[in-house]
Structure 1
Amino acid sequence: MKFSKATNYALHTMFFLAAATPDKHVGVLKLAERQEVSPTYLSKILTKLVKAGMIESASGANGGYRLKRNWEDISFLDIIHAIEGTASLFDCDFNHGPDCLIQKVMVSAEEEMEAYLSNQKMSELARNVPAPL
């Protein structure tokens, strides 16, 4: 199983915003430079995070992106869903119906992974950073 690079960048961007500057706007150029990624590519990811209600954007000289209120409740799963969507990782292509034993195992595994990721809060991870980034 593999998540997209966009998810990787989204998780790292959210971590940076939470650990370093939860209340301040950070420009896309700084965020992109920090991760060595194209600002254009990162802008597309940031747009998804804005649409998901996790961050907000502001234009102008002091503009950029920052976390929204209640950001402490954002989980890894929330970020992943904002980028990847909520479709199941496994889809049985056979017409076995809901009694497919393979499907049951895969769905159960995915539910356990989602439960774990939903309990992992970016704010908790950010609190464990010894010094500002």
Structure 2
Amino acid sequence: MKYSKATNYALHTMLFLAMETPNKPVGVHQLAERQNVSPTYLSKILTKLVKEGMINSISGANGGYTLSKNWEDISFLDIIHAIEGKSSLFDCCLYSNPECVIKDVMLSAEEKLENELRNKKISDLVKK
């Protein structure tokens, strides 16, 4: 199982914003430089986080991105879903068999992973 690089950048961006002053806008160039990624590519990721209400976009010369008001409640799973979507990691190839035992095992494991990620917050890392 592998998450995309976009998820990696989104998680790190959220952590960087939380470690900076959460209310002070940070520009896309500064965020991109910290992760050695293209500002254009990172902007696409940030757009998804804005759309999901996790961060705010502020226009203008002193603009940039800030965390949303409820940022301390944002879980790793929330960020992953914002980037990767909410579809299952496993698709059973035997669609005609509703009692696929392999699917049951895989979905159970995925549920445990999601519960773990749901319980981990970016704010937990900032407190360390």
| Counterpart for residue 29 of structure 2 | 29
Aligned-residue identity in percent: 70
Deviation at 1:96, TM superposition (A): 4.6
CA RMSD of aligned residues (A): 0.8
Structure 1 residues 2-53: Cα deviation after superposition (integer angstroms, max 9, x where no partner)? 0000000000000000112211100000000010100000000000000010
Structure 2 unaligned segments of length 5 or more: list them: none
Deviation sequence 1:53-95 (CA, Å, 0-9, x none): 0000011111000001011000000000000000000010113
For the residue of structure 2 that corresponds to 1:91, the secondary structure is: coil
- 1:95 corresponds to: 95
Aligned residue runs from structure 1 range 36-115, under 5 A: 36-115=36-115
Q: Distance in 2 between matches of 1:123 and 1:97?
A: 43
- Which structure 2 residues correspond to residues 110-129 of structure 1 after superposition, within 5 A? 110-128=110-128
Equivalent AA in structure 1 for residue 53 of structure 2: G
Aligned counterparts of 1:95 and 1:65: Cα–Cα separation in 2: 43
Q: Distance in 2 between matches of 1:123 and 1:117?
A: 13
Residue 2 (str. 1) matches residue 2 (str. 2): yes
Contact 1:19/1:127 (8 A) holds in 2: no
- How much does 1:108 deviate? 0.1
Number of aligned residue pairs: give it. Answer: 128
Distance in structure 2 (CA, Å) of the matches to 1:21 and 1:116: 27
The 2-side partners of 1:113 and 1:4 are apart by: 17
In the alignment, is residue 12 of structure 1 matched against residue 12 of structure 2?
A: yes
Provide the rounded CA distance (Å) in 2 between the counterparts of 1:78 and 1:42: 18
Query: Any idea what SS the aligned residue of 1:107 has?
Result: helix
Distance 1:2 1:106 in 2: 15
With normalisation by structure 1, the TM-score equals: 0.94
TM-score (norm 2): 0.97
- The answer to whether the 8 Å contact 1:27/1:63 transfers is yes
Distance 2:21 2:34 in 1: 14
